[in-house]
Structure formats: structure tokens, C-alpha cells
Amino acid sequence: MPDESRRGFLRCAGAALSLVALGARVFAAECRYPIPPADGVTIDRTNQVILVRFQDYVYAFNLACPHENTALKWLPKDGRFQCPRHESKYQPNGTFMSGRATRNMDRLAIRREADEIVVNLDSMWQSDKDAAQWAAASVHLVS
């Protein structure tokens, strides 16, 4: 009898984990931010998101450097991002400038809803693997 109870428990636990995994795929994790009023950078360390308004576009980036996942730093004086570990440099739109990295900063899928920018944390695009999605991952504020 204890073996049967254990097998039943394991079957139920396996089914529950499957439903949780399915739910994670069906419902994307999203963060909402007010549209930045001017060019600048906001870093949300809790969700690992960098939100940038630059030249009438808004971008959302993964906080980690694509080279070795070190948190990127914004250098306002220089108007660019830099990895403190190996000094890879990036423009405000995430384009790689120099250093050890081999690609642009990873962009997150975003959209505009009224006065907010909605960032989909489950859709991250790498410029070298998903060039079209990476290029499209922005919101143009001027219509």
C-alpha cells in the first residue's frame, strides 16, 4: 500500500509540474514602465531590464553583457554603456562599439500601451541569431 501511495503522489506531482511549465509558456512575464519623458536610461535591477529612450525610440535591454553576463553600466558622461569586466562598449541603442563582446546588447520585446512601455521578459533577441527581431524590438515615439 505505501508503494501505491508514493506512485500516485509522484504522478500527481509530475502532472502539477507540467501544468506549471505550460502556464509559464502561455503567460509571458511582463513589466510596465511609464514612457520616459526625455532621452535617458532607467535600470531596473529587480527585473534585469535596461529601458532607454534615445532619439525618439524606446528600447529594452537585458541588464547582462552578452559577453559574460556581467551587469552593464550606463556612463552618462560618455553617453554609452560599458561592461565593467572586459570594457565592451555599446551605443544607447545597444549597438556594439568595441571590446571583447561579439554582438550587440540583447534586446527584449516591447510594445506601447497608452502612456506605458510593456516589456516582455520572456522574449529576448540576440542580434547575431535573430537580426530581424532584434532590429524590430523598439517603439518609435513619433508618428
94 and 78 in contact (C-beta within 8 Å)?
no
Determine the pLDDT at residue 116. Answer: 97
The whole-angstrom separation of Cα 57 and Cα 67 is 25
β-sheet with 73-75: strand ranges across: 73-75, 80-82, 89-90, 96-98
Instruction: Give the pTM.
Output: 0.79
Round to whole Å and give the CA distance between 16 and 41. Answer: 40
pLDDT, averaged per 10 consecutive residues of the chain (143 residues), comes to: 49 47 55 96 96 98 94 97 95 97 96 97 96 97 82
Go through the domains of the chain in sequence order and give each one's CATH number.
30-140 (2.102.10.10)
pLDDT value of residue 34: 97
**In 3D, which of 44, 37, 39 has the Cα closest to residue 116?**
37
Which pLDDT value is given to residue 19? 43
Q: What is the pLDDT of residue 7?
A: 53
Write b or e for each residue in 71-101: b if 16 or more Cβ atoms lie within 10 A of its Cβ, otherwise e.
Answer: ebebeeeeeebbbeeeebbbebebebeebeb
Contact 47, 121 (CB under 8 A): yes
Which CA distances in Å does 120 have to 58, 93, 112, 123? 14, 18, 11, 6
Predicted local distance difference test score (pLDDT) of residue 142: 86
What is the C-alpha to C-alpha distance for residues 114 and 71, in angstroms, rounded to an integer? 30
